[in-house]
Chain A
């Protein structure tokens, strides 16, 4: 079904003006217009960015590529940016961040993400196993400043490791779409050909565009190498760069991948004195630290008050009070929810259930939570 009234930018303006008016919001008080609109269609919400899944492709055995059609609240993106995707798993909403992989010139308004499913990943495993066409997901607007410069240089060096390929693919597709005439070198590290995400896309572009040079390095597969005689396994190094990418020091470089690769790149570019030509995307797979070494003696940081304190096995409420912060509190036994607070990072244990909260930005109750290791709170 197509609802022309609800698409297009003019329609969006009209809809917004009508539905988001004080008049409508007064009628919909106190829940707001969205809570009624989404009964008809979750995509019609006027404040929440949502998207319908229009295609699901399992490119490799441990990844899934989703094509999404966002609703009219979506403001677009630039190649290299990422979005937060929210999935509800066992009743709990969990948000993870994924880079977009399509060209920013795509005109159909659809966006594409590729999710690598880690064995420990809750959301990635969920999306791999349960994402289906027609499903509606909540998203955030595109974020991040890992983007191409307004004036294009003569040479781009795009380096990626593993699933860090996704923003690189977006940049590559975007540059090709605009018929960028400079040189593009793609240096991609991957364990083995079976785990190579976007292999077909990379090969296709390298074949169609003479200015694109593709080098895939398989780090866990010594018998195989592709596109180059270079032997694996190997890591990013100065020698390797000098050998594989002549003139790399003059290229504008983008790196996205696991922490080891990023550190190595930062070190090399820093030593060469060309850090200003290096752009890095810190994408860290959100590791649920349930196997985390339990350390009751970390540091608790109260972000809003700019204060720190050492944990000593007491509840976060007692620690906060000892540090001179007076958070709202009530029953002090986990029933009244007055001391509910956003935990920004770290792991805490619930004293009633023994459950661990390891997710960033989870609500916890201070009076029945003890920190394990370093924890930061929005207090």
Chain B
């Protein structure tokens, strides 16, 4: 890719950066009771939804109970991964000084190993967002999501790999640190890969034990009903996670950048890259909550350490700033955004 051209002058970029920096500072200083009460409330809802869901699945021979049980358990799993897990592990609630909501202590049900996750996501993806060859979230090492990725026969099945990734999304993310693409090219230390695999399988086995052995066993003769319910909840969680995450950086209009932008990248340019490289999904309150407020992907990428429930109100201000600097603010419905993602997956299965 040729040298990246900014649409703003250096001076404008600085000014733009300062405005966003002021917004960041202002919000961080305002954190307090409201945020603490909010996240505690979400945690309570999550735990209750989980207990309710698992309880209903025991009565799962009665179809409405099974359906409600799956819905409730899915909601719990989505909240645990998104609004609580993902956001807590970003350090959004570290200031509360609460060991149960601390980025280093938090354990989520997601099979990603905490330390590996914090490295690949909080650092890798959030610092080098959408930089080709550096942000491994572009295609997650298994898909072709950019024209810059060289095509080969493997990518003819891009849609199939995408579908497989969608239904196994949590495991796919957990195995992100294996760096399959680098392993194949022999650029990855084998011993390190084995350590990652060990850690991931240890963590996944706890969830498998719980969802597929212990809870079904507790249901005795109805084991299969509970097993199927848990499997369905995991599948739905994976699919929704895949959709939200892929709508974050791959819809039409989300830009990718050459590594050359990193040289002397100012704060203003960094913010510029985050806005151009991210896309939002429009929706109601419940949708935003279930997406872990990652539907506000732009705000999340500008301010990853600010509690995510604030993104909605920050979005109003960010939109206004973007308008003044004449920058695109990519936000649309889930159908529109995901539609263009699917098109991209299909298009890139063929050589560019």
Contacts and interface: CB of A to CB of B under 8 A. Distances in A.
Interface of A: 23, 26-27, 29-31, 35-36, 39, 88, 90-94, 330-331, 333-338, 340, 352-355, 362-363, 365
A334 to B, nearest CB: 7
Contacts of A340: 91, 94, 103-104
A92 B107 CA distance: 21
A331 B37 CA distance: 29
B103 A337 contact: yes
Contacts of A29: 109, 206-207, 209-210
B123 A88 contact: no
A353 B25 contact: yes
B210 A26 contact: yes
Interface string B115-139: 0001100110011000000000000
Interface stretch (B26-34, B55-63, B194-202, B311-319): B26-34
Contacts of B100: 35
Interface in B8-52: 21, 24-25, 28-29, 31-37, 43-44, 47-48, 51
A366 to B, nearest CB: 13
Contact of A91 (B32, B127, B209): B32
B5 interface: no
Contacts of A362: 97
B28 A352 contact: yes
Contacts of A338: 118-119, 122-123
B25 A91 contact: no
A25 to B, nearest CB: 10
Nearest to A329: B123
Interface in B196-233: 206-207, 209-210, 214-215
Q: Which 3 A-B pairs have the closest CB atoms?
A: A337-B91, A91-B36, A330-B123
A89 to B, nearest CB: 9
B107 A30 contact: yes
Contacts of B104: 340
Contact of A363 (B94, B127, B305): B94
Given A91-B33, A336-B123, A337-B118, 10 more contacts: A26-B210, A27-B210, A30-B206, A35-B100, A91-B35, A330-B127, A335-B303, A336-B127, A337-B94, A338-B123
Contacts, number: 107
Contacts of A31: 47, 107
B98 interface: yes
Contact of B98 (A27, A93, A337): A93
B305 A337 contact: yes
B304 interface: yes
B125 to A, nearest CB: 10
A340 B106 CA distance: 14
B149 interface: no
A344 to B, nearest CB: 14
B126 A92 contact: no
Contacts of A352: 21, 24-25, 28
Nearest to A95: B97
A145 B201 CA distance: 46
Secondary structure of the B contact surface, majority rule? helix
A330 B304 CA distance: 13
Contacts of B107: 30-31
A337 B122 contact: yes
Contacts of B346: none
Contacts of B206: 26, 29-30
Nearest to A363: B94
A354 B22 CA distance: 12
A93 B24 contact: no
A53 to B, nearest CB: 20
Given A91-B31, A330-B119, A39 B25 contact: no
24 contacts: A26-B206, A26-B214, A27-B210, A30-B107, A35-B100, A39-B48, A39-B51, A90-B32, A91-B35, A94-B97, A330-B119, A330-B122, A330-B123, A331-B126, A335-B127, A335-B303, A336-B304, A338-B118, A338-B122, A340-B104, A352-B25, A353-B29, A363-B94, A363-B102
Contacts of B25: 352-354
B95 interface: yes
Contacts of B96: 88, 91-93
Nearest to A88: B36
B304 A27 contact: no
B79 to A, nearest CB: 12
B120 to A, nearest CB: 11
B36 A336 contact: no
Question: Which of B34, B44, B95, B119 neighbours the largest number of chain A CB atoms within 10 Å of its CB?
Answer: B95
Nearest to A35: B47
Contacts of A333: 267, 270
Contacts of A27: 210, 214-215
Contacts of B151: none
Interface string B76-102: 000000000000001100111110101
Nearest to B306: A335
A36 B46 CA distance: 10
Contacts of B97: 92-94, 362-363
B48 A353 contact: no
B140 interface: no
Interface string B239-280: 000000000000000000000000000010010000000000
Contacts of B95: 91-92, 363
A333 B210 CA distance: 39
Given A26-B210, A352-B28, A90 B33 contact: yes
Contacts of B209: 26, 29
A333 B28 CA distance: 14
B108 interface: yes
A39 B51 CA distance: 11
B29 to A, nearest CB: 5
B113 to A, nearest CB: 12
Nearest to A28: B210
A104 to B, nearest CB: 29
Contacts of A363: 94-95, 97, 102
